[in-house]
Structure 1
């Protein structure tokens, strides 16, 4: 017994040991799972995160990772060491609109510690940077561009980018930075590789000779929007590669003559918005673009540009220039852009641009005192200029002479808007056969010569907006087959245009856009638009359009041709219904409702004839027999809507005297006294105040006086007679209406659909009842099975196995598939990537595989 007891004890101890180890393993798995969950609790749910393609690492918190133009990019709202770690393949870092309450501090080796040692571009904008350590960008050897705009950055260590040898683009605009003071030997930054530097709007007061000495590779320098008023003469002497310099919007009154003497590569100089009064003396031999607009230049002398003979683009707009010497631009033989707009010129010499034969764009707009262009045009040292754009808007022009444009044969675009032109001779534009766009908006033109554009076959865009045009002939567009854009809005037109009978059908066949809004047009006929098969946009807002058959035809035509309205608001000035404007989406249906009070009809409407009411009554009076041909009178062969005639009926005019005599005037008098009385033929009378009434009489192929016989023949084709009944000698003729027998029987046609619907409903009820009965039988059978089981189990000595087929049937119905064995604490799956939306899929549980335990 002792040996057996020891063996039993050893067996119990072994079992206890195995059981304890299993418990320890389970606890350990629980702890491991908790640690893994804690590791991922800092990250957002899977649907809000993205994963880099070749990095098995999720995007850091406060960031969104994506691919832009083939580069891996991370957009963040904050940067912080310790809580963020980026993948090695992030090339672009963007931080925008960070919370200003939490300034971003860029510590030493900041980007390397974040895992961004391979980043190529860093953009931190519209945020707040507390400070930038001297070595913040160290270790980032592939850095190409840095943008730190608008961050309230106050200082930057000169050696911040000393080790970034691949840095080319550096933008520091809109930061209150500190720069070396006047007379200081200090430099701003040591960044020899930077080629483009933007320090605009950085509160710079002065530029010393050493400010940019350690940035010799600069090709573009932007110091606009600072408080510069003076500069050292040697400021740019060490920038030998400088190509573009922007000094705009400063307080510079003058520049030293030799300040750019060493900048042989300088091609573009911006002096916009400086109180400088001359550029005379500047020696920039290779300068191509000079932007000297909105300065204090009042006079342009003959030698102002002596040291800049290669200028191609010259902007002198907005300077209030009063005088220009007639030879001021003669030495600028390469000039192809000249802007003299927004000045105060009152005269322009005909030889002003004589030597500028390469000129392409010539702007003199907004010189309201100019009044006139040269009578014989601008003289050219060659035969013709190459000018393709000429702008002379708002110059107070009262007349354009016949030869004012004779040397502009290459002209494509001309702007003459906001002048005082009342007429234009048909020879003005004949010198410019290549014109493609003409702007004559807001002048004083009341009419246009039909042959004004006779030589402008390439004209595609014409703007006549704001002219008091009253009538415009369609003949003016005969010679402009290429016209695609036409604006005649804000005028006084009462119709689109006057159409001549002999005008060709090719007028405006290529027109895409037409604007006739804000006119006095009351009617637009469909035949005025029949040739405009390519029309896609039509603006007819703010016109006193009247509701008519022509209007309905127009709406049908516009809908069928998918022409779009361009009204920005529902301002339809309907004179007949001067209602309030509705804030609704503008459409043709809306215009129709505003004009007619209902939507447009969906089917085409044929136009009404031109027969007046007077002519109709003249024809009636001339017929001594009291009958008239209604089809010839109304011309459209249609019964008015209030006749309620059948759509399948024919309109037949009965001019015989026999049926006219069948009507007894006394019967009409009696029926007028009693509305409920009806004659033997079932005739119904309208009210006495109606002028004309129509008698609709059913006729079979063989006439019969017996009403019963006509009812038996109702299946034959029905004809309708319209008879004019002279009921009283001194009263106006009345026409009475008698409905057809076929029409009466047609009222019972609705019985068939109703009968079919009732039968269908009964059939559906029968099917539902059948289903309910089957369900009840099934439940009864189930109850019977359960009762059998209970009865069998209640007998002594019986078991479940003895219940036979009854128990077996129930077990098959209730038992489901075996539950799969799942480890509740299995490790989390590795994070995978869904290529379609680049979102995280980190959940290890597949709940659709879990089923209840077997019964």
Structure 2
């Protein structure tokens, strides 16, 4: 809360007074309670007048619902006005109150602003940031911020502002006008904002921009114009912006673009602009461009389109309906690190040539209708780390193209036409850690394919046509594989021998298979439980989830193997183990619970999956689950108040120790450290069987001063002390 220096001093004085009153018997429980109540009362008094009634103050910031502000008890650096009950008319003096002289940030949210006086912020010398968000602002006086000499950031976003023109500020650097109702940018819109470096005009309805709108902004670096209705831009609109670094024109119906851009530009985003071509003259002026997004257009590209962009590192050509690309389209762009060609219509994978090896570590061509991969398709991409070729029509014979990628870590070949994988497909990719083969017509996995991949951790072969897990013989186990997904296949059995191929597995996805409930499956589940393998589910898909899971969740996941399998193969094996676990829990709770098996012993090997048996297994599972719940509820009720007794014992023991220590300390001081004729107070503990009561007093028994004693202490002589003496001087 906001505390002033004056109130701090008053609080200290009152606190000292409370301590003086309660210090005599400060160890007692009642005095401690009184002291705490007194301190709370003092704190309430000290802070009651430090924050205006319409505000909440905390850590040098205040949130108010009105501009009728009173004095603040402490300096406020950040002021927010949100959800005012009445429309605002901000005039000079609203913010000239005690405590706001050093405010550097003011924001107004969810308000209706009728008018802002041109001198409203003139008294706030340190104001550097002002924002109006989600508010009704039909018009703003251009001179409103002309006197704020330190204003750096102005944000008016998601409001009803329809016009922004001739604003004046000699210090403004960042201007955010996104999400308003602007339709036109005039020549004078930014004419008197010479220090602007950043302009955000996204999500308006701008259709017209004056050719000289940015001509005076010699320091402009970033312009965001996406999601407007701009159909045409003058070629020279950014000609004088020599410091321009980034332009975003995405989601505008431009159709063509021909800009005279500065060579300093580093980022150009033209996503979903209905472009049909990318002018070669434009690319000549982009020698330092490193980021280019042309996705979502309908481009036709030539070999020289990007020829002059030697510093290009990222390019996105996805969703352009491309059927082919020239082999030399990236010939000079050997510094490319990320290439995205998703959702085009290639039939043959484009073979790229270069005068150097590409530095590309990420390459994606998903859903590109690729049928064939040549052996040298990635000849110039030796540095590839992530390769995504999912949702194409690639067959297993094409995988030899991957052999040269010895740095490859992540490979996605899901949903292709791969039915057989040649044993030498990944032989040189020794760094491979993740392989996704989901959705391919594989009938069996040959583990020998991954013989050289000693760091393979994740393998996904879900949604395939697997009828058995591993092709035999297995030459070498997959010693590093931690997660295997074989969900939604045609597996009828999984054995401990299959699981021994992945000895360190942590997560196994096996649901939605036609597993037989036989002895082999029981042994497999025993193996999985013994090795603490978790089923792959929404809660346990990653290794991080396993590490963060507590012991109870781990136990439940391990005991619910059959539940996560779609068929829910809950045979007598499951219920026998469940019964033993339940009995142990019941014995610990001193309540014996018996379970009647619901499965006939004579039918343990006759489970095939039909609706009747599904219903029977569901009923059995519900019964077992309800039994677990009843035991857990009883255990929770039994331990709900169990913490009270140890707490009381601890409190009583602590008080006893304190009393004994106090008496010992007083005895030592009396016998050794002080003269014999000084009487010290001591704590008297009445006997349990005594009827005598201690006389109540303030704890400060008067003793005569040494100067008042006229007699000399003599052993065996009774010294009489006046019972009602008045001290001559105050102690």
TM-score by length of 1: 0.58
- The structure-2 alpha-carbon separation of the partners of 1:482 and 1:130, relative to structure 1 and needing over 3 Å to count, comes to farther
Equivalent of 2:534, from 535, 560, 564?
A: 564
1:248 is paired with a residue whose SS is: coil
Give the distance between the partners of 2:414 and 2:181, measured in 1 at CA.
Answer: 44
- Between the aligned partners of 2:54 and 2:559, the Cα distance in structure 1 is 50
| 1:270 positional shift | 0.7
How many residue pairs align between the two structures? 538
Taking a change above 3 Å as real, the CA distance of residues 589 and 280 of structure 1, as seen in their structure-2 partners, is same
Residue 539 of structure 1: aligned partner: 509
1:281-296 to 2 correspondences below 5 Å: 281-296=259-274
Name the residue aligned to 2:414: 441
Structure 1, unmatched stretches of 5+, are: 1-44, 181-185, 571-584, 606-689, 691-808, 822-855
Q: 2:311 aligned with 1:334, yes or no?
A: yes
Structure 1 418/210 Cα, relative in aligned 2: closer, same or farther at 3 Å?
Answer: same
1:654-665 to 2 correspondence within 5 Å? Answer: none
Q: Distance in 2 between matches of 1:404 and 1:308?
A: 29
Quote how far apart the aligned CAs of 1:343 are: 0.6
Q: What are the superposed Cα offsets for residues 335-383 of structure 1, whole Å, 9 maximum, x if unpaired? A: 111111001111111111111111111111100x211123xx311112x
Per the TM alignment, residue 205 of structure 1 is displaced from its structure 2 partner at its CA by: 1.8
In the aligned structure 1, how far is the partner of 2:449 from the partner of 2:236?
59
Q: 1:527 to 1:175 in 2, by over 3 A?
A: same
1:147 paired residue among 125, 131, 139: 131
The answer to whether the aligner puts 1:371 opposite 2:344 as a matched pair is: no
User: Conserved in 2, the CA contact under 8 Å of 1:411 and 1:435?
Assistant: yes
- After superposition, the Cα gap between the structure-2 partners of 1:601 and 1:485, relative to the gap in structure 1 and judged at 3 Å, is farther
Q: 1:355 to 1:587 in 2, by over 3 A?
A: same
- Comparing 540-549 with 57-66, which one deviates more in the overlay? 57-66
CA distance in 2, matches of 1:103, 1:291: 40
Show the counterpart of 2:377.
404
Give the secondary structure class of the aligned counterpart of 1:172. strand
Q: How does 1:262-411 map to 2 (within 5 A)?
A: 262-321=240-299, 323-367=300-344, 369-374=345-350, 377-382=351-356, 384-411=357-384
Mapped to 2, the partners of 1:85 and 1:430 lie a distance apart of 74
Aligned 1:489-508 pairs, distance under 5 A: 489-501=462-474, 503-505=475-477, 507=478
> Are the structure 2 counterparts of residues 820 and 599 from structure 1 closer, same or farther at C-alpha, using a change threshold of 3 Å?
farther
CA contact (8 A) 2:371 2:394 kept: yes
- Aligned position for 1:248: 226
| Aligned mate of 1:414, from 365, 376, 387 | 387
For the structure 1 residues 106 and 525, does the alpha-carbon distance in structure 2 shift closer, same or farther, using more than 3 Å as the test? farther
Query: Following the alignment from structure 1 to structure 2, what is the Cα–Cα distance between the partners of residues 286 and 810?
Result: 91
Please state how far the C-alpha of 1:47 moved relative to its aligned partner: 13
1:114 deviation in Å? 6.5
Gaps of 5+ in 2: 1-36, 541-554, 581-601, 603-686, 700-731
CA distances 1:529-577 after superposition (whole Å, capped 9, x unpaired): 335454333222222333333333433443444433332399xxxxxxx
Does structure 1 residue 73 correspond to structure 2 residue 61? yes
> Is the CA contact (8 Å cut-off) linking 2:443 and 2:467 kept in structure 1?
yes
What is the DSSP-based 3-state SS (H/G/I as helix, E as strand, rest coil) of the residue aligned with 1:303? Answer: helix
Could you say which residue in structure 1 is the equivalent of 2:74? 88
Shift of 1:165: 2.0
Map of 2:440 onto structure 1: 467
The 3 A distance-change label for structure 1 pair 162 and 565 is farther
Instruction: Summarize the alignment of residues 11-26 of structure 1 with structure 2, pairs less than 5 Å apart.
Output: none
Write the deviation string for residues 604-644 of structure 1: whole angstroms up to 9, x where unpaired: x9xxxxxxxxxxxxxxxxxxxxxxxxxxxxxxxxxxxxxxx
Name the structure 2 match of 1:23.
none
Judged with a 3 Å threshold, the aligned counterparts in structure 2 of structure 1 residues 500 and 279 are, in CA distance, closer, same or farther, namely same
1:552 to 514, 522, 529: 522
Whole-Å Cα distance in 2 between the matches of residues 159 and 562 of structure 1?
A: 70
Larger RCO: Structure 1 or Structure 2 (Cα < 8 Å, ≥ 6 residues apart)?
A: 1
Query: In the TM superposition, what is the alpha-carbon distance from 1:118 to its structure 2 partner?
Result: 1.7
Deviation, 1:221, is 0.3
Counterpart of 1:712? none
The counterpart of 1:118, out of the listed 98, 102, 120, is 102
Q: How does 1:228-239 map to 2 (within 5 A)?
A: 228-239=206-217
In the aligned structure 2, how far is the partner of 1:243 from the partner of 1:108? 34
> Given that residues 589 and 600 in structure 1 are in contact (C-alpha distance below 8 angstroms), is that contact kept between their aligned partners in structure 2?
no
- Counterparts in 2 of 1:242 and 1:464: CA distance versus 1, 3 Å: same
Shift of 1:174: 1.1
Q: Using the alignment, how far apart are the partners of 1:282 and 1:448 within structure 2? A: 52
Instruction: Name the CA shift for 1:46/1:135 in 2 (closer, same or farther; >3 Å).
Output: farther
- Asked if the contact 1:51/1:65 (under 8 Å) is kept, the reply is no
Q: CA deviation at 1:248?
A: 1.0
- CA separation of 1:429/1:130 partners in 2, compared to 1, >3 Å: closer, same or farther? same
CA drift of 1:278 comes to: 2.2
* Alignment partner of 1:818 is 2:696: yes
Contact map agreement 2:410 2:435 (CA 8 A) in 1 = yes
Instruction: Give CA deviations for 1:93-112 in whole Å, capped at 9, x if unaligned.
Output: 3445x26x544554433233
The alpha-carbon deviation at position 392 of structure 1 amounts to 0.7
1:219 and 1:242 in contact (8 A); partners too: yes
* Contact 1:200/1:224 (<8 A) preserved: yes
Distance across 2 between alignment mates of 1:344 and 1:362:
16
Deviates more, 1:161-170 or 1:411-420: 161-170
TM-superposed CA distance for 1:428, in Å, is 0.9
Partner of residue 156, structure 2: 172
CA contact (8 A) 1:49 1:59 kept: no
Q: Hey, what's the Cα distance between the residues in 2 that align with 1:304 and 1:198?
A: 28
Describe the shift of the 1:105–1:562 C-alpha distance in structure 2 as closer, same or farther (beyond 3 A): farther
Deviation at 1:453, TM superposition (A): 0.5
Q: TM-score, normalised by structure 2?
A: 0.67
Tell me, yes or no, if the aligned pair for 2:152 and 2:173 is still in contact at 8 Å: yes
Q: How much is the aligned-residue C-alpha RMSD, in angstroms?
A: 3.5
* SS state at 2:204 partner: coil
Local SS of the residue matching 2:406: coil
After the TM superposition, which residues 579-658 of structure 1 pair with which residues of structure 2 at under 5 Å, given as runs? Answer: 587-592=557-562, 594-597=568-571, 599=574
Give the Cα separation in 2 of the matches to 1:106 and 1:816.
Answer: 68
Q: Which of 384, 393, 402 is the equivalent residue of 1:429?
A: 402
**Cα drift, residue 59 of structure 1:** 4.7
Distance 1:479 1:600 in 2: 42
Aligned equivalents of 1:810 and 1:420: distance in 2?
Answer: 92
CA contact (8 A) 1:205 1:229 kept: yes
2:292 is paired with a residue whose SS is strand
The Cα of 1:117 is off from its aligned counterpart by: 2.3
Q: How does 1:496-535 map onto structure 2 within 5 Å?
A: 496-501=469-474, 503-505=475-477, 507=478, 509-530=479-500, 532=502, 534-535=504-505
Secondary structure at the counterpart of residue 77 of structure 2: strand
In 2, Cα distance between the equivalents of 1:145 and 1:49? 38
- CA distance in 1 between counterparts of 2:483 and 2:689 reads 79
Structure 1 residues 144 and 51 mapped into 2: Cα distance closer, same or farther (>3 Å)?
Answer: farther
CA contact (8 A) 2:134 2:159 kept: yes
Question: What residue number does 2:423 align with?
Answer: 450
* Cα distance in structure 1, aligned partners of 2:217 and 2:266: 18
